[in-house]
Amino acid sequence: MTAPHYRSIFTPGLLAGKIIIVTGGGSGIGRCTAHELAALGAHVVLVGRNLEKLQTTAAEIAADSLEMGGTVSFHTCDIRQEEAVKQTIAAIVTAQGRIDGLVNNAGGQYMTPLEAISAKGWDAVVHTNLTGGFLMARECYVQAMHERGGAIVNIVADMWGSMPGMGHSGAARAGMVSFTETAALEWAKAGVRVNAVAPGYIASSGMDHYPPEAGERLRQMKDTVPLGRFGNEAETSAAIVFLLSPAASFISGSVLRVDGARPQVRMGWGDFTAEAAVQTREAVKPFEGFHRAVTPKVFA
């Protein structure tokens, strides 16, 4: 642990008094983002299926944010279930009085070729990565944001060129980009901004859920990134916080990539990958703001 609290690059108190929901807030990018939002003074509402993870993250935030002004609460919810989402958002509005922001972070996928994906497996990933995000955003808008505005950030992925080996997730993420653009247009009249953040290869706890045989492939993926490394959770969180902040008040319908220029790598365009980056290592030094970050086991 490098510091007693989150080291955000944003000004202290930036989000003081804001009520911001983070789905999938019990682990990975969601956990990190929740910590940063609380460190900036927001009341963070964690939403997820695993009560124990929510309780652990909430306890961390409560312990770390005493001097930062942020607070935290949590609700268990399966975002794929429409009635559960409606009830959860209603409970949050009742408890907090309003909702200022939503980070649609909950998601998941597994590695498999298209021919091996069952209809059940396809539906499970699409419902989590697309339908659940839609339901959360819709209910935040209908039950709260249509009256006083707000900001929504949908977490997608590096699916430019699609996602071979995870085609169900690629289709869902592409659908969420389209939803982001449509919602930005339809909900602008209410002062609601809708954007997306597309993380590339991020060293996050989600990697621990991949099978052991995927380990070597995961470790080699950094060699296809022009900046020569994986990103981290804090670098992703910073992009999310920016889009939630007043600094992004005229940005809507956009996707902010956090990927080290990986989608630009093309055959025949020259060597822009890790080998070529050796001489400029200091230029690609990561930002490590999250004091509770844990290296994924695959890299240990």
- Over residues 88-118, the pLDDT tens digits come to 999 999 999 999 999 999 987 777 888 998 9
Kindly give the residue spans of alpha helices, DSSP state H, lying in the chain: 28-39, 51-64, 82-96, 119-126, 132-140, 146-148, 167-186, 215-220, 233-244, 274-277
pLDDT of residue 55: 97
Residue 35 has pLDDT above 50, yes or no: yes
- On whether the CB atoms of residues 168 and 121 are closer than 8 A, the answer is yes
202 DSSP β-pair partners? 231
Alpha-carbon distance of 300 to 181, in angstroms, equals: 39
166 DSSP β-pair partners? 112
Averaged pLDDT, 223-240: 91
- Using DSSP's 3-state secondary structure scheme, residue 31 falls into helix
pLDDT of residue 162: 79
pLDDT of residue 208: 64
Alpha-carbon distance of 147 to 195, in angstroms, equals: 19
DSSP state of 286: P
Model confidence over 252-294: pLDDT tens digits?
Answer: 999 999 999 888 886 555 565 555 555 445 555 688 877 787 7
Residue 65 has pLDDT above 80, yes or no: no
The residues near 248 (Cβ < 8 Å, ≥ 6 apart) are: 151, 193, 195, 242
Residue 6 has pLDDT above 80, yes or no: yes
Alpha-carbon distance of 78 to 88, in angstroms, equals: 10
pLDDT of residue 129: 93
pTM: 0.89
All domains of the chain in start order, with CATH: 19-299 (3.40.50.720)
pLDDT of residue 265: 81
pLDDT of residue 293: 77
pLDDT of residue 267: 53
